[in-house]
Chain A
Amino acid sequence: MIRLLLTITAGILLGAIVHLVSVLALPRIASQDAYSRLTPATKLNAVTVLPAAEPSYTLIPFLDPAFAVAVCRYDLSGGPIKLTVPVSQAYTSVSFYTRNEVAYYAINDRSAGKKVIELDLMTEAQHDELPEDEEITAADRLIIDSPTPTGLIVMKALAPEPGLMTQAQASLAASSCKVQTDQPAKQAEAPRTRR
């Protein structure tokens, strides 16, 4: 009897460890996370405007139907990414997610303070290798460090009334997200790229 109780106690203790390990491992092993779901429907290092949210659209749950949504699935191994998003009439925001959907940065049109949200996205290594003088000349540039080399940029434009949805989608379609090629920084980070 005592032995049975001991066995069950040991099982529960072991179970606690299994629980902790599986919770921590779940983000890495989940195959149906937002990034994987969006992979077939989006282009790499380019902007894809998602279809307007409606009941038949079940790819990403809990999307706000009042927003036009565009996604840029990025891979920084080819160099930093330059993102420009024109501000729509009502409200525009840009959120950054790591490969495992950690929302590490988000900005809206008011905090950007301009008619166009302009950002440079790079890994920490690429940021470190930026030449000093460039950092100074680019003082007005907003530089974001991505914790992972791949991830998602989600751009959203509010349509305050359903009739304004096309307009919001058009404003997002005018945004761009591409690898910077004409940068001296590109050569500087080249030796570090893995082959």
Chain B
Amino acid sequence: MRLIFITLLALLVAAVVGLGATWMTATRGTDLGTLTIGAWTARPKTGTADVDPYSRATITRNGELPVGTGDGVAFTATTDDRKKPLDGRCDVVVSGVTPAARFWTLTLYDRQGHLVANSLQRYGFTSQEIVRSADGSFEVRIASRSRSGNWLPTGGIERYALMLRLYDTPVGVATRTQRDAPMPAIATMGCP
């Protein structure tokens, strides 16, 4: 009787620990092979054949199609530079320059990876449509209500993610630091 109880307990612990850890890593991701610059993280290896098993599990679970390395690289940010989660009710400013690339796009998603509905039908900016200042830098204002300049509407959702994708770029597996890839800063300016 006691042996049965102990075996069952061990198996229960094993199931909870094992599947729990898998669920955690598949939903939240791991730090394996990540490139972090400021608030932005990328996993350049997800676009190659030697993608790590954790990223593979996440990709298949979510039904994503990662950007291939010969195509580009995708950076994601879910917080600002001070680690404050991006809040759609606040004013957030993304400013600065981007690493060398033929094109880039900046897109706003909800945490499930879907676009957020808004009256303007604007879900992001491409490097061609953005308004820049004389020195080539840009400033995107992300807010629920309209703002002057490059306004990216949030639809007022509480949590969102930003994705900066660089296409045809030297940034990739070999990139390590901000100096190789100057990413724009993300700052929360004010919350109602």
Contact = CB atoms under 8 A, between A and B. Distances in A.
Interface in B139-192: 163, 165, 167-168
Interface in B44-62: 46-49, 51, 53-54, 56-57, 59-62
A41 to B, nearest CB: 12
A55 B119 CA distance: 12
The interface size bin for chain A is 35 or more
B113 A24 contact: no
A32 B69 contact: no
Chain B interface helix/strand/loop/mixed? mixed
A13 to B, nearest CB: 8
Interface in A1-45: 3-4, 7-8, 10-19, 21-24, 26-27, 30, 32-34, 36-37
A19 B107 contact: no
B65 interface: yes
* Most chain B CB inside 10 Å of its own CB: which residue of A23, A100, A156: A23
B19 A19 contact: yes
A97 to B, nearest CB: 6
A26 B63 contact: no
Contacts of A84: none
B9 A16 contact: no
Contact of B9 (A11, A64, A156, A159): A11
Interface stretch (A74-82, A104-112, A186-194): A104-112
Interface of A: 3-4, 7-8, 10-19, 21-24, 26-27, 30, 32-34, 36-37, 53-67, 90-91, 93, 95-97, 100-108, 110-111, 147, 152, 154, 156, 158-162
14 contacts: A10-B10, A12-B17, A14-B14, A21-B18, A26-B60, A27-B57, A56-B117, A57-B115, A60-B63, A63-B65, A67-B105, A103-B66, A106-B69, A162-B121
**Lowest 4 CB-CB distances: which A-B pairs, in order?**
A18-B18, A106-B68, A11-B13, A61-B113
